[in-house]
Amino acid sequence: MPSVISTLHTFDTVYSADSVEWCPHPPYQHLFVCGTYQLADGEESLTSGNSGTTMRKGRILLFSYDPQHDSLVHEQTIETPAILDQKWHPKSAQLAVVTASGEMQLYAVREDTQQLSHVESLRIPAEEVDCEQLALALDWSSDGNRAAVSDSRGGVSIVSIEEQGMRHLHRWKAHSFEAWTCAFDRADQNVLYTGGDDTLLCTFDIRCLESPAARLKNKSHGAGVTSLLSLEGHLLATGSYDDCLRIFDTRAMKSCLTEFNVGGGLWRIKPNPGRPRQLLCACMYHNFSVVNVGEDGRVVALDAEYNEHGSICYGCDWSYRGREEEGEARYFATCSFYDHKLCLAVLKTEE
């Protein structure tokens, strides 16, 4: 059955907005963050490729949402360097953030205030001394003991999370140009996928971090690979500037199972927590789209489109709390760039 999307709230983020992440951990599932990236004059977007050293600033905006009273509250603002990506820790209410200054920052939700408190920051070693290197994306291993960080110089780093704090283990050159994205394989934490502006989808065996083994360099994409999502059942979803969502079987990666044109360049892919093969896609120059992926990954169908935004669609995520009395009703948040707009919406399946 088709679904419909209704906007519940909009919010002016002031700075250009590019990422949304909803906390998955009880009792904090009412919280989500929006990350921002304030552009300097002359820059066109996150992906403009401006090579000069530029001051970029950002903010973490913390929100709470109460579905029973339909109440959205802006709880906190944290000043940071410009934010490129954020991810909640898989085991605890800690938030990792990567920035244009080349840092990975770690925050934790305080039990008493239910606001974010800074834990520590780690600078990712640069490829060259005094070169500008932006941290572009991150992903957590399923156990939360490691994080992968990709950067604007084509590098990928592994960071260890230890009792003493974060520790950088190793960085290697994975791509010729920007390494836009990285993702651990959910079934095998020794496998890391990376995507770059060189159009390559790479698979690395990271059991030996001093010399990660490149298992495969896939050339299926017609433009830069911008988003990766490891799904259950040996499936991997990818997004690209070439407008297509692709689904791969990770046991046979030479070609994809299917590709589906969502339009506008696909920057972010987020699975519905209640229906993991229902994907919310940030289609940069088009809209936000919800698509359904079949069990075997060979069928992809458009479920609903969300056209509330008038600028580059970058950030999106689902709430981990649904409205049980309405069955499939699911909340999600989206954000866009130049109109610095955050939206909170609900997806409902039509009878």
Residue 27 has pLDDT above 90, yes or no: yes
Q: How many structural domains does the chain have?
A: 1
Instruction: Assess if residue 246 is contained within a domain.
Output: yes
Separation of alpha carbons 36 and 315, rounded Å: 10
Instruction: Assess if residue 208 is contained within a domain.
Output: yes
Three-state DSSP at 217 gives strand
User: What's the average model confidence in pLDDT over 318-331?
Assistant: 70
Give Cβ neighbours of residue 11 (< 8 Å, ≥ 6 apart). Answer: 63, 72, 74, 341, 342, 343, 344
For residue 241, give the nearest of 303, 178, 301 by alpha carbon: 178
Instruction: Assess if residue 138 is contained within a domain.
Output: yes
* Bridge partners for 349 per DSSP: 3
Residue 27: count other Cβ atoms within 10 Å of its Cβ: 11
For residue 37, give the nearest of 21, 53, 15 by alpha carbon: 15
pTM greater than 0.75: yes
**pLDDT tens digit string along 43-66?**
656 765 544 556 899 999 999 999
- Looking at every residue in the chain, the average pLDDT score rounds to 93
Residue 42 has pLDDT above 90, yes or no: no
**pLDDT tens digit string along 96-149?**
999 999 999 999 999 999 999 999 999 999 988 778 999 999 999 999 999 999
Domain enclosing residue 235, as ranges: 4-9+122-348
| Strand order across the beta sheet in which 179-184 lies | 179-184, 191-196, 201-205, 213-218
Residue 268 has pLDDT above 70, yes or no: yes
Separation of alpha carbons 23 and 334, rounded Å: 15
Q: Which of 18-22, 37-41, 214-218, 335-339 has the lowest mean pLDDT?
A: 37-41
Instruction: Assess if residue 116 is contained within a domain.
Output: no
Which of the four pLDDT bands, split at 50, 70 and 90, describes residue 39?
A: confident
User: What's the average model confidence in pLDDT over 266-290?
Assistant: 96
For residue 35, give the nearest of 85, 96, 103, 76 by alpha carbon: 85
**CB–CB of 141/169 below 8 Å?**
no
* Bridge partners for 343 per DSSP: 10, 334
The pLDDT score that the predictor gives to residue 325 is 45
Instruction: Assess if residue 29 is contained within a domain.
Output: no
The pLDDT score that the predictor gives to residue 179 is 98
The pLDDT score that the predictor gives to residue 209 is 87
CATH code at 304?
A: 2.130.10.10
For the chain, what's the residue count? Answer: 351
**pLDDT tens digit string along 298-314?**
999 999 999 999 999 99
What DSSP string describes 23-51? Answer: --STT-TTEEEEEE-BPPTT--STTS---
Give Cβ neighbours of residue 70 (< 8 Å, ≥ 6 apart). Answer: 8
User: What's the average model confidence in pLDDT over 311-323?
Assistant: 90
User: What's the average model confidence in pLDDT over 186-213?
Assistant: 95
* Bridge partners for 179 per DSSP: 196
**CB–CB of 181/198 below 8 Å?**
no
The pLDDT score that the predictor gives to residue 116 is 98
Separation of alpha carbons 11 and 341, rounded Å: 6
Which of the four pLDDT bands, split at 50, 70 and 90, describes residue 321?
A: confident
Instruction: Assess if residue 49 is contained within a domain.
Output: no
Three-state DSSP at 11 gives strand
Instruction: Assess if residue 111 is contained within a domain.
Output: no
Share of the chain above pLDDT 90, in %: 86
Which of the four pLDDT bands, split at 50, 70 and 90, describes residue 324?
A: very low
**CB–CB of 107/119 below 8 Å?**
yes
Three-state DSSP at 325 gives helix
Which of the four pLDDT bands, split at 50, 70 and 90, describes residue 326?
A: very low
Instruction: Assess if residue 54 is contained within a domain.
Output: no
Dihedral of alpha carbons 304, 310, 312, 318, sign: negative
